[in-house]
Chain A
Amino acid sequence: MAGGTARARPTPTVAPRGTRRTGRTPVALLVPAILGLLFLVLPLAGLLVRTPWATLPQRLTEPGVLTALRLSVQTATLATLLCLLLGVPLAWLLARVQFPGRQLVRALVTVPLVLPPVVGGLALLLVFGRRGLVGSWLDSTFGVTVPFTTTAVVLAQAFVAMPFLIIAVEGALRGADTRYEEAAATLGAGRWTTFTHVTLPLVAPGIAAGAVLGWARALGEFGATITFAGNYPGRTQTMPVAVYLALETDLEAAIVLSLILLTVSVVILAGLRDRWASAP
Chain B
Amino acid sequence: MTTGRPASLGQSVPAAGPRLLDAHLVVDRDSFRLDLPLTIAPGEVVALLGPNGAGKTTALRTLAGLLPLSAGHLTLAGRDLDHPVRRTWTPPERRPIGVVFQDYLLFPHLSALDNVAFGPRRHGLDRRQARDLAADWLTRMGLAEHARRKPRELSGGQAQRVALARALAVEPALLLLDEPLAALDARTRLDTRAQLQRHLAAHAGAALLVTHDPLDALVLADRLVVIEHGRVVQEGDAATITARPRTDYVARLVGLNLYRGYADGHRVRLGDGFELTTGDHHEGEVFVAFPPSAVALHPRRPDGSPRNTWPATITGIQQHGDNLRIQLVGPIEVAADVTPAAATQLRLAPGQPVWAAVKAAETRAYPAAPG
Contact = CB atoms under 8 A, between A and B. Distances in A.
A193 interface: yes
A16 interface: no
A188 B107 CA distance: 14
Contact of B97 (A183, A186, A193): A186
A202 B151 CA distance: 13
B122 A193 contact: yes
A182 B66 CA distance: 7
Contacts of B93: 185-190
B34 interface: no
Contacts of B91: 185
Nearest to B61: A182
A202 B118 CA distance: 15
Nearest to B163: A183
B97 A202 contact: no
A180 B93 CA distance: 13
B168 to A, nearest CB: 11
Contacts of B214: none
A197 B118 CA distance: 9
B249 interface: no
B98 A186 contact: yes
B170 A188 contact: yes
Given A185-B65, A186-B64, A187-B166, A198 B101 contact: no
B187 interface: no
Chain B contact patch, size range: 20 to 34
B122 A189 contact: yes
The residue in A185, A197, A198 that gathers the most chain B C-beta atoms within 10 A of its C-beta is: A185
A187 B99 CA distance: 8
Interface in B106-163: 107-110, 118-119, 122-123
A183 B151 CA distance: 15
Contacts of B64: 182, 186
Given A180-B105, A202-B109, A188 B66 contact: no
B118 A185 contact: no
B92 interface: yes
A202 to B, nearest CB: 7
A184 interface: yes
A201 interface: yes
A179 interface: yes
Contacts of B110: 201
Nearest to A194: B93
B101 A179 contact: yes
A180 B109 CA distance: 11
Contact of A188 (B101, B108, B123): B123
Interface string A186-213: 1111100100011001101000000000
Interface in A157-198: 177, 179-180, 182-190, 193, 197-198
Contacts of B98: 186-187
Given A183-B99, A185-B93, A188-B123, A198 B65 contact: no
A234 to B, nearest CB: 42
Contacts of B66: 182, 185-186
A180 B167 CA distance: 14
B92 A185 contact: yes
A188 B92 CA distance: 7
B109 A188 contact: no
A184 B107 CA distance: 9
A197 B109 CA distance: 10
Interface in B77-94: 91-94
Given A187-B118, A201-B107, 4 more contacts: A182-B66, A187-B167, A188-B122, A189-B122
13 contacts: A179-B105, A182-B92, A185-B65, A185-B66, A185-B92, A186-B93, A186-B99, A187-B118, A188-B93, A188-B94, A188-B122, A197-B118, A202-B108
